[in-house]
Amino acid sequence: MTTTPTQAVSDPTLTAVTATTPDATVNDTGIDEWELAASRRILANLRTLLDGQQMLDLIKDQVDESDRQLKEYIEQSHGEFTGTQVILQVSGIHVQQFMPTVQAMMGGAASPDPAVRGAALTMAFAAHPEHYAMAPGGRPGVIETMGGLPTRSFPAFVQPDQVPDFVSDLIDSSYDLSTVGAADLADGTMFSYVLQEYRDTADGMQVSLRIWYPAACPPAYVEEHAQHYAVEFRNGARLAAAALRDRN
């Protein structure tokens, strides 16, 4: 088996490096942080160059392939779903301080006001590197990686009686806030459900995030989305905390 270049540079077992500059001495963890900062810089630049329709045109074939694959998995799953959960312990911000940022991103991205929409997109893009674009079509939607491909989905919060029992049965009344959601493809094909729950802790909040995909989907769908949630909500918490700090 041949190691790809990306696999090689991501494998910390191969070497150990310490770097010294006039400003700092860092180990591999510090070099990783520099790499992450560089990745964010190039990503911000590319998003500026490939804004809006240019991005949609670039990834169209991949989005169409993701649609095709998901419909195939739905058919093969015969109504069965598989899910995952990630629990986040967050310090520095409480539930009611965090939720306005979530609402601003989700609601603002579909706003007809260019300024509101632009601010929401800036936050959404900062929240996760695999947020490619907002989905076209006149209703709130997003294009983000699922199963290794850019996927166009239209998520919406719904009532507990609008999701399957395997979702609503897991609602935990000990949380301060529980929300359920469903996501469909552009043609209305339902393919995913979520349960997101929040409760305050002494120094912040605990967040439980669950997502379900058709059972025939490869394991990468649920594994990668647990990681996606961790990045997205950690960065969302930082965005909310920064907004609070800036207002004070």
At 139, which CATH number? 3.30.530.20
Angle, CA 244 vertex, CA 226 and CA 180 arms, to 5°: 35
> Structural domain tally of the chain?
1
Cβ contacts of 70 within 8 Å, gap of 6 or more: 146, 147, 151, 185, 189, 191, 214, 217
**Residue 5 within any structural domain of the chain:** no
Residue ranges making up the domain that contains 60:
51-247
Query: Which tokens hold the place of 54?
Result: 């240019």
**Residue 30 within any structural domain of the chain:** no
Please state, in angstroms and rounded to a whole number, the distance separating the CA atoms of residues 194 and 203: 26
Q: What is the pLDDT of residue 106?
A: 80
**Residue 44 within any structural domain of the chain:** no
**Residue 123 within any structural domain of the chain:** yes
40: phi then psi, degrees, rounded to nearest 5: -65, -35
Please state, in angstroms and rounded to a whole number, the distance separating the CA atoms of residues 69 and 63: 10
Please state, in angstroms and rounded to a whole number, the distance separating the CA atoms of residues 59 and 132: 9
The answer to whether the CB of 143 falls within 8 A of the CB of 132 is yes
Q: What is the pLDDT of residue 103?
A: 87
pLDDT by 10s per residue, the chain, length 248: 799 999 999 999 999 999 999 999 999 999 999 999 999 999 999 988 998 899 999 999 999 999 999 999 999 999 999 999 999 999 999 999 999 998 888 878 777 888 888 888 889 999 999 999 988 877 889 999 999 999 999 999 999 999 999 999 999 999 999 999 999 999 999 999 999 999 999 999 999 999 999 999 999 999 999 999 999 999 999 999 999 899 87
The answer to whether the CB of 186 falls within 8 A of the CB of 46 is no
pTM: 0.90
Q: What is the pLDDT of residue 110?
A: 73
Cβ contacts of 45 within 8 Å, gap of 6 or more: none
**Residue 8 within any structural domain of the chain:** no
**Residue 112 within any structural domain of the chain:** yes
